[in-house]
Amino acid sequence: MVFSSGLFLLYFLPIAILMYQIIPGSFKNLWLLVLSLAFYFWGAPLFIYVVLGTSLANFIFVRQMQKPNSNRKFWLVAYITSNLLLLGVFKYFNFFAQNFSDISEYAGNGTVSFFEIALPIGISFFIFQSITYAVDVYRKEAPALNKFTDYLFYILFFPQLIAGPIVRYKDIAKQIIIRKLSNEQFVSGFHRFSIGLAKKALIANTLGEFYMKLQYGQGILGFESSSTAWLMALTYTMQLFFDFSGYSDMAIGIGRMVGFSFPENFDKPYLSKSITEFWRRWHITLGTFMLHYLYIPLGGNRKKSSRIYVNLLLVFFLSGLWHGAAWNFVIWGLFHGFWIILDRLFLKKVLEKLGIVSILFTFFVVLNGWVLFSANSMAEAWHNFEVMYAFNGVEITYQPYFGYFTFFLTLSLILVIISAIKPYYNLRDFIPREKAGIWNSVTLLGITTLLYAISFCYVLAADYNPFIYFKF
């Protein structure tokens, strides 16, 4: 089940929100926990037991850590090690086993067969979230939770379980126990949710369809077009942003509707003037996690330059690997690490003087990075680059409804550009004129309702594509 599905919008969300209004305060968290368990169980009935078992073990570890005279560091290390081991086994076993098999074959010893392990959905997110709990408690930045159900609720809370934002425990610790839900927060939450839904259902899905059609068209006539390859890269760049940021908006919106303030995850990333700035604006919560739980513990900026660069490469290597168990993700991570180091060496100072050129340059670098990210393998990524940089002058392969798709691509670019201006933020955060905003509150509510209604129709119709002669 995903937020942009008929099941979620038609059944799950209305029941969740309506009942949340009715249920007395002491049971609200329990209700959200039940919903979260149901949400995860629907998507991964086998793995719910992994999550429950892991969470129980984690909770016990931290309880042990909190005991007087306990060896806190031991329990923290045990906690982090066991969680990373779990992540390593479920997410990376197949990757390393396949590489081992490839090396064995290359060495002439034949392939090695292995038992493939299935990947529990959301594991990357809930493991990282679990780690923040233990570390924040260890650092005494937030108190440990007394009830296992509260801990489970923090780990499994459905808005951010599958795709983030990665919510640091200390940012949310107080809200788990006590939170106030104002009408304004509820309204702005639903508004944010509607915007996210529109980004996903109207823009990202359309761009995704365009990308698939372009990909199908490439090579269909026996040769590949550089123009099409660049168009694919641009389409994917925009699709990924609207998909991911849309999902984050929905998560933030739902959180707000039940009284939570989740951190922002995207802040105009495609208007960044350098890769360094890009990583402060793209998937912010991952960057924050890596900064506070990896980079700073490794020494941060306090070490000598060569060590800083090694640490940066390591952080981005792991970031890449975290995104996916494949070499193209690793190379993508290192690609960004490389540019970050260049920024530190000299590039950022140069770009600061170039104004809009720096934005275009950074966008160009990021777009190339997404070519790596979107490929199914390094070979495919390399091939895509070859076609792109051939500049072979072959026309874009004709696409039916080309105007329709390029409209949405253009719209996505315009939205990215105008996201720098105040009316956009007033719109996104439901800041009415009465609160020094630009928009009348009725107008904002009207936009909310319209976006939700249109997106709802598009979600319901998502699987509708009848074949005229199915009868025949």
Rounded distance between C-alpha atoms, residue 125 and residue 123, angstroms: 5
Closest distance between another protein and the C-beta of residue 462, in Å?
9
Annotated active-site residue 323? The verdict is yes
Rounded distance between C-alpha atoms, residue 290 and residue 93, angstroms: 22
Give the nearer residue to another protein in terms of CB position, either 41 or 361. 41
What is the separation of C-alpha 233 from the centre of its chain, rounded to a whole number of angstroms? 19
Rounded distance between C-alpha atoms, residue 344 and residue 264, angstroms: 26
Query: Is 18 a binder of another protein (CB under 8 A)?
Result: yes
Query: Is 454 a binder of another protein (CB under 8 A)?
Result: yes
- Distances from the Cα of 75 to the Cα of 57, 79, 293, 297, 327, angstroms: 11, 6, 16, 17, 33
Closest distance between another protein and the C-beta of residue 442, in Å?
9
Binding mask 138-177 for another protein (x = CB under 8 A): ----------------------------------------
Give the nearer residue to another protein in terms of CB position, either 390 or 457. 457
24, 26, 46, 302: which one contacts another protein (CB under 8 A)?
46
DSSP 294-327: IITTTTGGGS-HHHHHHHHHHHHHHHHHHH-SSH
Residue among 151, 161, 329, 179 at smallest CA distance from 248: 161
Q: Which two tokens stand for residue 387?
A: 């076609």
- For residue 159, say if its preceding peptide bond is cis, omega within 30 degrees of 0: no
Query: Is 216 a binder of another protein (CB under 8 A)?
Result: no
Rounded distance between C-alpha atoms, residue 16 and residue 32, angstroms: 8
Q: Which stretch binds another protein (CB under 8 A): 11-19, 238-246, 328-336, 346-354?
A: 11-19
Query: Is 468 a binder of another protein (CB under 8 A)?
Result: yes
Size of the site for another protein (CB under 8 A): 53
Query: Is 467 a binder of another protein (CB under 8 A)?
Result: yes
Rounded distance between C-alpha atoms, residue 209 and residue 213, angstroms: 6
What is the widest separation between alpha-carbon atoms in the chain?
77
Rounded distance between C-alpha atoms, residue 374 and residue 366, angstroms: 12
Catalytic, out of 191, 283, 323, 336: 323
Q: How many CB atoms lie within 10 A of CB 167?
A: 26
Rounded distance between C-alpha atoms, residue 212 and residue 122, angstroms: 25
Exposed e or buried b for every residue in 218-252, given b needs 16+ CB within 10 A?
beeeeebbbbbbbbbbbbbbbbbbbbbbbbbbbbb
Query: Is 187 a binder of another protein (CB under 8 A)?
Result: yes
Query: Is 457 a binder of another protein (CB under 8 A)?
Result: yes
Query: Is 25 a binder of another protein (CB under 8 A)?
Result: no
Closest distance between another protein and the C-beta of residue 196, in Å?
15
Query: Is 11 a binder of another protein (CB under 8 A)?
Result: yes
Give the nearer residue to another protein in terms of CB position, either 46 or 107. 46
Give the nearer residue to another protein in terms of CB position, either 16 or 87. 16
3, 4, 9, 161: which one contacts another protein (CB under 8 A)?
9
Q: Where are the alpha helices (DSSP H) in 400-470?
A: 402-418, 422-428, 441-460
Q: Which stretch binds another protein (CB under 8 A): 138-146, 238-246, 281-289, 453-461?
A: 453-461
Closest distance between another protein and the C-beta of residue 419, in Å?
23
Q: Which stretch binds another protein (CB under 8 A): 3-11, 104-112, 126-134, 380-388?
A: 3-11
Query: Is 93 a binder of another protein (CB under 8 A)?
Result: no
Residue among 197, 293, 185 at smallest CA distance from 245: 197
Residues between 386 and 445 with contacts to another protein, criterion CB under 8 A: 398, 400-401, 403-404, 407, 434-435, 441, 445
Query: Is 452 a binder of another protein (CB under 8 A)?
Result: yes
3, 4, 15, 307: which one contacts another protein (CB under 8 A)?
15
What is the separation of C-alpha 17 from the centre of its chain, rounded to a whole number of angstroms? 24
Summarize as ranges the residues that interact with another protein (CB under 8 A): 1, 5-7, 9-11, 13-15, 17-18, 21, 42-43, 45-46, 182-184, 186-187, 190, 398, 400-401, 403-404, 407, 434-435, 441, 445, 448-449, 452-454, 456-461, 463-470, 472
Enzyme catalytic residues: 323
